[in-house]
Each structure stands twice: as C-alpha cells, then as structure tokens.
Amino acid sequence: MTPIDAYDGLLILGFKEEAAEAKKLIFEKLNFDVDMEVQNFEVSIRILGGLLSAYELDGDKRFLNLAEDLANRLIKSFDSPTGMPYRYVNLNRKNAG
C-alpha cells in the first residue's frame, strides 16, 4: 500500500528517482488476485485513489488498468441490503460481508 499511497506525493515533490522506484515496484509486485478480505474504505481511499491519482499525474495507462481491476473487485461491497456498503470485501472471490 505504501508505494501507491506515496507515488503522487513523490511526483509532486520532484523526487523523480524515488517515484520511478515506487512505480517499478507497483507494476512488478501489485496483484489483486489474492484470497484476502480487505476493508473497503481503506482500500478505496488509499489504493484505488492512489492509482487514480498516479494515472492523472503520470499518464501511464497501467495505473488506470489496475484501478479498474480493483474497482471491479470492490463493487460487491455495495450489494448490501441495507444500502450501506459492507465493511469487508474478498478481493479474489469478489464477495462481501
């Protein structure tokens, strides 16, 4: 989560080498195909938001592709009968509860 969360700040502050290192790490290691429950809110603001910010600042379409993949996995958290999103969502099974 840290490289994604920090990437836009590194770019804005002009830390080009550190930003390039974070970008490389993101594209080499980030994988949402894991059987793990995550908190919808935290993942939405930090990872999804970070990927969208990275795309807007950098223009690399791979950030947008990762954001779309994650959003498609998180969308199940909004299938709650109460109208309030579920707190947790499983990234691999794309279910919530």
What is the per-residue pLDDT across 40-51, written as a single tens digit (0 to 9) for each? Answer: 999 999 999 999
| pLDDT above 90: percentage of residues in the chain | 82
Question: How many folded domains does the chain comprise?
Answer: 1
Return the closest-CA partner of residue 77 out of 68, 86, 90: 86
* pLDDT (mean) for 26-32: 96
Domain that holds residue 81: 2-96
* pLDDT (mean) for 42-62: 97
Return the closest-CA partner of residue 42 out of 97, 96, 94, 89: 89
Q: Using a cut of 0.85, tell me whether the model's pTM lies above it.
A: yes
